[in-house]
């Protein structure tokens, strides 16, 4: 799945900016231009732009509409690509349905047949979460959305809305670059999906020197330079056909997992960083380069080397920056909240209803992100209710789906309802989310060391796999201070991290620590969430809290 690019063979038109917007009934058909609309910005969530409660919290279908005209050439195929909508969407051109998007965080890409002159694009988005969607949710009486995940259910066109052209003959439709690193040899295997008569592959190094020129298939480079966080060296593969050209960046790196270490290019690495969210004031989940660049600058400032795309695939632009800045990525699919059977029954509750979509999203995620050197592991879910015996088969199918598509390690963030989880044998790396002295033993920092010691020791003894603490954190109101350290103060967050890290350091098979969360983020309104989740090390507008300085020092020393 290639990201649309502009070059001498391809046109690219950006429809971002203002759309016409309104809420619509379930049976609405866009046979004529919508009436009674108001302006709305794209890419952005509609919710942050609204001032009235009933519109901000609207549950149901909304319409985005925009007219456009482009030069139409008869040798070209035109495609519409929307990076993400929140969530399911139906897409219409000039009143005719051209496709559906079945999920909220992966691209929609379809051939379109624009007419010469004005065209009307209509996107109808449904933000309702059910047992067939991901994240999973339920609609209660009175059209109330009930969710079991801790981030705001934003709606809108969240990523770029683009139209691009491909030549009708000889188009490059997909490129897959597999890299192989042995002691003294570095090779690539390049597959190109195209009906062109000739496909030429040229590999350029970072200074533009040609290090390979020839056919696709097995490729040996005349010189090779590995990609790593310290040295994020990127090559460009230029694929050319009679009628098309596409430049795909890639890096060469090797990922391995042993029973007690995570290896990058043959050397053990300690993953240090954060679980994140796509979330910012005014934008909600709208992709914005300024926010993305600031985030990566902060990640470098604090000496982090890894993020998890909690709890859904992030915009492709973010992964491009991760490749460039040298930030490793645990790439997570949007399977969050699949624990509805907790306190109920798996079979009576959602059971296997999300399984087909869950598999499709894994396939699309891997197809989208397979060429990013920064992606070092796929996370197939966050905190599913794996203590229920019947979910074993569900996850066997999920892991089999992913294994067939990738050589990278697989995990589930927190599948360890230890000792009751039924799936700890499936992942390559165990990831645990733990909040000792926060949700349990609140305010008692002294419990962290013994409790963290207990879970890390027991898991490694029982499963003999490396462990990453993928979540630990404390809500902190920026500017609230207390001595001795009390919950919600900056001092408590600082001390909480110190205590957790002390214990992590004592377990060499604990190969990573991802603090929850990089920045404060919006959630649904609830008693324990004053203005959202405040576990950020940075505020929502990306300024440091006191604990950021503890982590900056610690991450600099950790190798």
Nearer to ligand GCB (CB atom), residue 224 or residue 533:
533
Which of these is catalytic: 48, 90, 332, 383?
383
Residue of minimal CB distance from ligand GCB? 150
Backbone phi, psi, residue 8, to 5°: -65, -15
197-236 residues near ligand GCB, rule: CB under 6 A = none
SS (H, E, C) 254-321: CEEECCCCEEECCEECCEEEEECCCCECCCECCCCHHHHHHHHHHHHHCCCCEEECCCCCCCHHHHHH
Q: Is 437 in the site for ligand GCB (CB under 6 A)?
A: no
Nearer to ligand GCB (CB atom), residue 15 or residue 306:
306
The two tokens of residue 106 are: 């992966």
Q: Which of 253, 535, 540, 545 is the binder for ligand GCB (CB under 6 A)?
A: 535
Draw the binding track, 291-330, toward ligand GCB (x: CB under 6 A; -: no contact).
--------------------x-------------------
Whats the size of the chain, residue-wise? Answer: 559
For tokens 């490694």, name the residue: 460
157-186 residues near ligand GCB, rule: CB under 6 A = none
Q: What DSSP element (H or E) covers 493?
A: helix 490-505
What is the rounded radius of gyration, in angstroms, for the C-alpha atoms of the chain? Answer: 24
For tokens 């279908």, name the residue: 61
Closest contact distance (angstroms) between CB of 411 and ligand GCB is: 14
Q: Is 433 in the site for ligand GCB (CB under 6 A)?
A: yes
Nearer to ligand GCB (CB atom), residue 325 or residue 518:
518
Burial of 324 (0-12, 13-18, 19+ CB in 10 A): middle
Closest contact distance (angstroms) between CB of 304 and ligand GCB is: 19
Nearer to ligand GCB (CB atom), residue 65 or residue 471:
471
Q: 230 an active-site residue?
A: no
Cis amide prior to 459 (ω within 30 degrees): no
Taking alpha carbons only, the member of 311, 314, 327, 536 closest to residue 412 is 311
Q: Is 279 in the site for ligand GCB (CB under 6 A)?
A: no
DSSP single-letter state for residue 10: B
The Cα 434–Cα 535 span in angstroms is 13
Whether 45 contacts 125, CB under 8 Å: no
Judged by CB under 6 A, the number of residues near ligand GCB is 9
446-505 residues near ligand GCB, rule: CB under 6 A = 471
Q: Is 150 in the site for ligand GCB (CB under 6 A)?
A: yes
Closest contact distance (angstroms) between CB of 279 and ligand GCB is: 11
Q: 396 an active-site residue?
A: no
Q: Which of 101, 127, 411, 533 is the binder for ligand GCB (CB under 6 A)?
A: 533
Which of these is catalytic: 471, 490, 499, 503?
471
Whether 284 contacts 48, CB under 8 Å: yes
Closest contact distance (angstroms) between CB of 19 and ligand GCB is: 30
The residues that are catalytic are 383, 471
Chain positions contacting ligand GCB, by CB under 6 A: 150, 311, 382-383, 433, 471, 516, 533, 535
């Amino acid at each position: 799945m290639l990201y649309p690019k502009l070059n001498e063979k391809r046109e690219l038109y950006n429809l971002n900016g203002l759309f016409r917007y309104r809420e619509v009934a379930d049976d609405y058909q866009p046979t004529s231009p919508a009436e009674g609309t108001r302006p709305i910005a794209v890419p952005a969530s509609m919710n942050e732009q609204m001032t009235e409660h009933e519109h901000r919290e609207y549950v149901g279908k909304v319409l985005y509409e925009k007219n456009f005209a482009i030069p139409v050439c008869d040798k070209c195929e035109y495609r519409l690509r929307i990076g993400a909508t929140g969530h399911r969407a139906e897409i219409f051109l000039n009143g005719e349905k051209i496709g559906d998007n079945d999920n909220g965080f992966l691209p929609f890409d379809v051939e379109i047949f624009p007419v010469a002159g004005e065209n009307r694009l209509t996107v109808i988005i449904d933000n309702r979460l059910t047992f067939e969607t991901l994240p999973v949710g339920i609609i209660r009486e009175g059209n109330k959305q009930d969710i079991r995940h801790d981030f705001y259910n934003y709606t809108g066109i969240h990523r770029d809305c683009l139209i691009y052209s491909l030549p009708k003959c000889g188009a490059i439709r997909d490129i897959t670059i597999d890299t192989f690193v042995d002691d003294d040899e570095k090779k690539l295997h390049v597959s190109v999906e195209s009906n062109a008569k000739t496909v030429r592959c040229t590999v350029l190094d970072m200074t533009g020197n040609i290090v390979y020129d020839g056919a696709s298939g097995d490729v040996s480079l005349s010189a090779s330079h590995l990609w790593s966080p310290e040295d994020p060296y990127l090559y460009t593969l230029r694929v050319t056909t009679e009628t098309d050209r596409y430049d795909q960046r890639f890096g060469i790196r090797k990922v391995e997992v042993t029973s007690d270490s995570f290896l990058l290019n043959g050397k053990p690495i300690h993953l240090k960083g954060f679980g994140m969210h796509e979330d910012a004031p005014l934008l909600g989940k709208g992709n914005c380069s300024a926010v993305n660049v600031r985030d990566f600058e902060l990640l470098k400032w604090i000496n982090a080397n890894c993020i998890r795309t909690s709890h859904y695939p992030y915009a492709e632009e973010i992964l491009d920056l991760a490749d460039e800045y040298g930030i490793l990525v645990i790439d997570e699919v949007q399977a969050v909240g699949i624990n509805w059977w907790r306190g109920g029954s798996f079979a009576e509750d959602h059971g296997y209803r999300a399984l087909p979509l869950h598999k499709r999203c894994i396939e699309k995620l891997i197809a989208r992100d397979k060429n990013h050197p920064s992606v070092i592991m796929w996370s197939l879910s966050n905190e599913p209710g794996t203590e229920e015996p019947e979910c074993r088969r569900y996850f066997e199918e999920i892991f089999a789906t992913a294994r067939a598509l990738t050589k990278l390690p697989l995990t589930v963030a927190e599948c360890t309802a230890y000792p009751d989880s039924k799936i700890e044998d499936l992942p390559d790396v165990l990831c645990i989310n733990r909040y000792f002295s926060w949700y349990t033993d609140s305010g008692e920092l002294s419990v962290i060391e013994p409790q963290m010691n207990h879970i890390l020791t027991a898991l490694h003894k029982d499963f003999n796999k490396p462990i990453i603490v993928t979540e630990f954190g404390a809500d902190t109101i920026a500017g609230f201070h207390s001595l001795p350290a009390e919950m919600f103060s900056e001092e408590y967050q600082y001390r909480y991290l110190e205590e957790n890290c002390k214990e992590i350091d004592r377990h060499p098979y604990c190969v990573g620590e991802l603090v929850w969360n990089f920045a404060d983020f919006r959630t649904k309104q609830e008693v324990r969430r004053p203005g959202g989740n405040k576990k950020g090390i940075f505020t929502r507008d990306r300024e440091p809290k006191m604990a950021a300085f503890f982590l900056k020092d610690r991450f600099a020393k950790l190798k």
